[in-house]
Amino acid sequence: MSSLLTYASEQPLVPGTLARVPLGRREVTGLVWDADFAALDAAASEPVPEGEERAPLVLRPVIEALDALPPLPADWRALVEFTARYYQRSLGEVALAVLPPELRKLDNTGLAKRIKKKRDHLIPEAAGEPAQRPSLTPEQAAAMDTLAAWAAAPAPPPTLLFGVTGSGKTEVYLRLAEQALAAGKQALVLVPEINLTPQLEQRFAARFPGRRLVSLHSALTPAQRLQHWLSAHLGEADLVLGTRLAVFASLPRLGLIVVDEEHDPSYKQQDGARYSARDLAVYRGHLARVPVLLGSATPSLETWSHAQTGRYKQVTLTERVGRGALPAVRLLDMATVPRPAPRSPPQALAPQLVDAIQKRVARGEQTLLFLNRRGFAPVLHCPACTWKSGCPHCSSFRVFHKGERILRCHHCGTQEPVPRACPDCGNLDIEPMGRGTERLEEQVAELLPGARVLRIDADTTRAKGTLESQLASVHAGDVDVLVGTQMVTKGHDFRRVTLVAAVNPDSALFAADFRAPERLFALLMQAGGRAGRDADIARGSEMWVQTYNPGHALFEALKKHDFAAFATTQLAERESAGLPPYSHLALLRAEAKTEDVAEAFLRAARDLAKSYPESADVMFYAPVPPSVAKVAGFERRQMLIECASRATLQRLLALFTPELPALKNAHRGIVRWAIDVDPLGI
């Protein structure tokens, strides 16, 4: 609570009230918090040296309270306070960062005008006929009965909805939201990425005409975000759909929280307060005593472990709706595929896969090719010398984007036109190395003349509305082969897709990050889940995996669609290695002008932490560079901190983290540092 400032007010202010206050020479918006009178009394009672007089306590006055807005409720403040404490950030930083930026710019008069204008222009939701409710499968009906019983408990337990792709998890979300709305409550539904929000929004809007639905995500304009946040906070919105930041939406009638695709890494914030929206959703449900449903076909191993040990409840859906079939998985050993002639471009697809795609095209079916790397090629190189398209500011390569004729670094954004010749030796025959989705699209068009090929990735969907129009083309059957990154592998209901192929998944098999196999298995399971969703054509659906490691245990589990077996193996490995969920981690990251300065800072932080008794049960690893050691001209280093006890680790972090700003000042050249609690990437 050291980040609290004290001001004087002529009128009592309710905790949770926004207020305009002076700060230095500026006037800023702050938030009235629950007063820490014990700290004030302690400061006032400190002994004064003999012969000196206590300086009078002079408080600067509050300029005005923004009482046009109802105070933020106690459970919201408790969530923010927990977030700040657990993720080692200041209270004010978290509290103000999760509020709409436009809100912090308004005085009371301006805020009152915004609220009045919003209500004057409030258009009633069309109260037409709701979309037809599909009949529940026996599994869905049993799941609903179980979930309803658990939701009626005084303190509903967090629940994992473990269902194969296409098993109707979204319909369960809709039915639970219907029950919450019928009870006069609000429902909060979280999705991992913005591109999943519009389609889910359409389904909820069709099911609940006459109910106000708002979305909260980073693609909104500042004005839209404020308007949607106000609708939620004032209780006007019945349904709130959003990405990770929406977990902090102020909801006075909260009755249900759903976290769709709960395993997705996008729920973890990667800068500022590095919080996990999934974990905070569980904690928020605990505070508000409302049910929290975590849905996934490939749960995170932490969630799966909690469900197996009874900490979370679990409901399972094993069958696809409408008699759809999971695709048969076929592993294609690329070591047995004939190599192309020397100097010819490497083959994107094996001949057997090309033949399988051609048969789908002839039958009017669709194929999805998954390659999780955008651009034309990750590297441009000169075969006559050692030149490669490295980034001058990062320890990575600039990616070749053929359509734009540029080299772009995906870490710092540096870009320049493609050189006409090698900058080192003048060779005119510089060549691309490797393959991205742009190159794959081009090669597929050459291999399948006449086929309608569409690429969907971050480069083709920058313009507003582009993604929606491209997905509409796929759903309408105007596309034969869809090439895409992970954007198209989850949440989409492609009814005509009968073949999915993972083009190059091997790179994640032997990564240093212990979570890499978990992420790869989830991606491949989700990608394969796009095939065979229509029962009329599902029986011949397939997933092909081009790999040089067909005997890998991950692929063996994938062939059987056996997540439980994969999770059991992975958890056993983690337990023997003392990795999460059997231990708890924090990363101390540092960026500096040189690697020596960054490493010296981390070593000094380790020595400082070891001076506390709590460090006796904590393991400190040596400072090491991350996978990309240099970004935007600054060297990056990280130090892993590990402990078997979460409580012990939290006590230690709370003790030495406040000392790190002074330590930074003592190490000139440190640009920034950050503590990442429960890091996803090691």
Helices (H), 495-559: 516-528, 553-559
HEC profile of 386-424: CCECECCCCCCECEEECCCCEEECCCCCCEEECCCCCCC
Hey, what amino acid is at 375?
Answer: G
Smallest CA-to-CA distance from 1 within 658, 650, 662, 613 is with 658
Element (H, E) at 591: strand 584-592
Consult the annotation and say whether 643 binds a ligand.
no
| Token duo for residue 341 | 């002639």
Smallest CA-to-CA distance from 167 within 278, 330, 296 is with 296
Query: How far apart are alpha carbons 331 and 545 in whole angstroms?
Result: 5
31-44 burial, b at 16+ Cβ within 10 Å, e below that, comes to: bbbeeeeeeeeeee
| 644 Ramachandran zone, left/alpha/beta (phi>0; psi -120 to 50) | alpha
Q: What is the largest CA-CA distance in the chain?
A: 98
Q: Identify the DSSP state of 377.
A: B
Residue with tokens 């054509």: 537
Q: Identify the DSSP state of 463.
A: S
| Token duo for residue 131 | 């979309």
187 neighbors 105 (Cβ within 8 angstroms): no
- Burial classification of residue 98, based on how many CB atoms lie within 10 Å of its CB (0-12 exposed, 13-18 middle, 19 or more buried): buried
Q: Is 159 helix (H, G, I), strand (E, B) or coil?
A: strand
211 neighbors 180 (Cβ within 8 angstroms): no
Query: How far apart are alpha carbons 659 and 145 in whole angstroms?
Result: 52
300 neighbors 158 (Cβ within 8 angstroms): no
For 220, what's the count of Cα atoms within 13 Å in the CB-facing half-sphere?
Answer: 22
214 neighbors 239 (Cβ within 8 angstroms): yes
Query: How far apart are alpha carbons 634 and 671 in whole angstroms?
Result: 8
240 neighbors 274 (Cβ within 8 angstroms): no
Hey, what amino acid is at 309?
Answer: T
Tell me phi and psi for residue 21, to 5 degrees.
Answer: -140, 155
303-340 burial, b at 16+ Cβ within 10 Å, e below that, comes to: bbbbbeeeebbbbebebbbeebbbbbbbbbebeebeee
| 258 Ramachandran zone, left/alpha/beta (phi>0; psi -120 to 50) | beta
Q: For residue 401, what are the β-bridge partners? A: 406
Strand-pair category, 186-190 with 239-242: parallel
For 399, what's the count of Cα atoms within 13 Å in the CB-facing half-sphere?
Answer: 20
DSSP assignment of 206-269 equals HHSTTS-EEEESTTS-HHHHHHHHHHHHTT--SEEEESGGGGG---TTEEEEEEETTT-GGGB-
> Binding site residues, as ranges?
382, 385, 391, 394, 409, 412, 422, 425
Residue ranges at the known binding site for Zn(2+): 382, 385, 391, 394, 409, 412, 422, 425
